[in-house]
Structure 1
Amino acid sequence: MKLNYRIVIFALAIVFGIVFSLPSLLQTQSGKKITLGLDLQGGLHMLLGVKTEEATKSRIKSMAASIKHFAERNDILINGLTFDNKSVTFEVLDSDEIKTFDEFLSKLEGVTVTHKGSVISVSLTPKEIEKTKKQAVSQAIETIRNRLDQFGLSEPIVARQGKDKILVELAGIKSQEDEQRARELISRAAKLELMAVDEDRNARVYNMSDADAASYGDIILEDVKSPKIKYLVHEIPILDGGMLTGANVGFDQNNRPVINFKLNAEGADIFGDFTGKNVGKRLAVVLDGKVYSAPNINERIGGGSGQISGNYTVLEAKDLAIALRSGALLAPIYLMEKRSVGPSLGADSIKASMIALIGGFVLVIVFMMVYYRMAGVIANIALIANLLLLLAVMSLFGATLTLPGMAGIVLTVGMAVDANVIITERIRELIYEGKSMHKAIEEGYSNAMRAILDANITTLIASVVLYVYGTGAIKGFAVTMSIGILASMLTAILGTHGIYQMLESKMGKSKNYRFWFGIKG
Structure 2
Amino acid sequence: MKKPFNSKLFFFILATLFGVILSLPTFLQTQGPKIILGLDLQGGLNLLLGVKSEEAIKVRYATLASALNHYSIEEQILLDKLVVGEDNLSFELLDSNEKSKIDKYLSQQEGLEIVEKDLQYTLALSANEKINLENFAIEQAIGNIRNRLDQFGLSEPSVIKQGSDTILVQLPGIKTQEEEQRALDLISKGGHLQMMAVDEARNARVATMSEREAQSYGDVILPFINNPQQTILLKAIPILDGSMLTDARAAYDNNGQPIINFTLNSQGGKIFADFSGKNVGNRMAVVLDGKVYSAPVIRERIGGGSGQISGGFSVSEASDIAIALRSGALPAPIFLLEKRSVGPSLGADSIRASLIALISGAVLVILFMVFYYGIAGVIANLAMVVNILLVVAVMALFGATLTLPGMAGIILTVGMAVDANVIINERIREGFRAGENFIKSMENGYMNASRAIFDSNLTSLIAAVLLYVFGTGAIKGFAITMSIGIIASVITAIVGTHGIFRFLQNSIMKSGNYALWFGYKQQVYKRKL
TM range, smaller chain:
over 0.9
User: Counterpart in 2 of 1:24?
Assistant: 26
Spell out the pairing of 1:153-172 with structure 2 (5 A cutoff): 153-172=154-173
User: What do residues 324-350 of structure 1 show as CA deviations (whole Å, max 9, x unaligned)?
Assistant: 111000000000111111122112211
User: What do residues 209-261 of structure 1 show as CA deviations (whole Å, max 9, x unaligned)?
Assistant: 11111111111111111223211001111111111111111111111111111
Spell out the pairing of 1:263-302 with structure 2 (5 A cutoff): 263-302=264-303
Q: Secondary structure at the match of 2:222?
A: strand
Q: Is the 8 A contact 1:71 1:77 kept in 2?
A: yes
Q: Is the 8 A contact 1:56 1:85 kept in 2?
A: no
Q: Secondary structure at the match of 1:52?
A: coil
Q: Secondary structure at the match of 2:54?
A: helix
Spell out the pairing of 1:213-228 with structure 2 (5 A cutoff): 213-228=214-229
User: Counterpart in 1 of 2:151?
Assistant: 150
Q: Shift of residue 123 of structure 1?
A: 1.0
Q: Secondary structure at the match of 1:48?
A: strand
User: Counterpart in 2 of 1:470?
Assistant: 471
Q: Secondary structure at the match of 1:306?
A: strand
TM-score (norm 1): 0.98
User: What do residues 255-306 of structure 1 show as CA deviations (whole Å, max 9, x unaligned)?
Assistant: 1111111111221222122112212111100001111111111222222111
Q: Secondary structure at the match of 1:140?
A: helix
Structure 1 runs of 4+ with >3 Å offset: none
Q: Is the 8 A contact 2:246 2:264 kept in 1?
A: yes
Supply the distance in 2 between the matched residues of 1:186 and 1:512 (Cα, whole angstroms): 68
Q: Does 1:417 align with 2:418?
A: yes
Of 8, 11, 32, which residue of structure 1 is paired with 2:10?
Answer: 8
TM-score (norm 2): 0.96
User: Counterpart in 2 of 1:235?
Assistant: 236
Spell out the pairing of 1:471-510 with structure 2 (5 A cutoff): 471-510=472-511
Match for 1:3: what amino acid? F
Supply the distance in 1 between the matched residues of 2:524 and 2:341 (Cα, whole angstroms): 60
User: Counterpart in 2 of 1:100?
Assistant: 101
User: Counterpart in 1 of 2:428?
Assistant: 427
Q: Work out the percentage of aligned pairs sharing the same amino acid.
A: 60
Match for 2:41: what amino acid? L
Q: Secondary structure at the match of 2:170?
A: strand
Supply the distance in 2 between the matched residues of 1:465 and 1:111 (Cα, whole angstroms): 40
Supply the distance in 1 between the matched residues of 2:318 and 2:386 (Cα, whole angstroms): 47
Q: Shift of residue 398 of structure 1?
A: 1.7
Q: Is the 8 A contact 2:428 2:442 kept in 1?
A: yes
Match for 2:18: what amino acid? F
Q: Is the 8 A contact 1:222 1:228 kept in 2?
A: yes
Q: Is the 8 A contact 2:373 2:518 kept in 1?
A: yes
Supply the distance in 2 between the matched residues of 1:276 and 1:466 (Cα, whole angstroms): 58
Which deviates further from its counterpart, 203-212 or 372-381?
203-212
Unaligned runs of 5+ in 1: none
Q: Shift of residue 436 of structure 1?
A: 2.1
Supply the distance in 2 between the matched residues of 1:449 and 1:270 (Cα, whole angstroms): 68
Q: Is the 8 A contact 2:4 2:506 kept in 1?
A: no
Root mean square deviation of aligned Cα: 1.1
User: What do residues 132-161 of structure 1 show as CA deviations (whole Å, max 9, x unaligned)?
Assistant: 000000011111111111111111111111
Match for 2:71: what amino acid? F
Supply the distance in 2 between the matched residues of 1:292 and 1:167 (Cα, whole angstroms): 32
Q: Is the 8 A contact 2:4 2:505 kept in 1?
A: no
Q: Secondary structure at the match of 1:86?
A: coil
User: What do residues 434-481 of structure 1 show as CA deviations (whole Å, max 9, x unaligned)?
Assistant: 222111111111111111111112222222222222211111101111
User: What do residues 93-140 of structure 1 show as CA deviations (whole Å, max 9, x unaligned)?
Assistant: 111111100100111111111111101111110000000000000011
Spell out the pairing of 1:98-497 with structure 2 (5 A cutoff): 98-497=99-498
Q: Secondary structure at the match of 2:122?
A: strand
Unaligned runs of 5+ in 2: none
Q: Does 1:62 align with 2:63?
A: yes
Q: Secondary structure at the match of 1:193?
A: strand
Which deviates further from its counterpart, 99-108 or 341-350?
341-350
Q: Shift of residue 394 of structure 1?
A: 1.3
Which deviates further from its counterpart, 76-85 or 374-383?
76-85
Match for 2:107: what amino acid? S
Match for 1:333: what amino acid? I
Match for 1:236: what amino acid? I
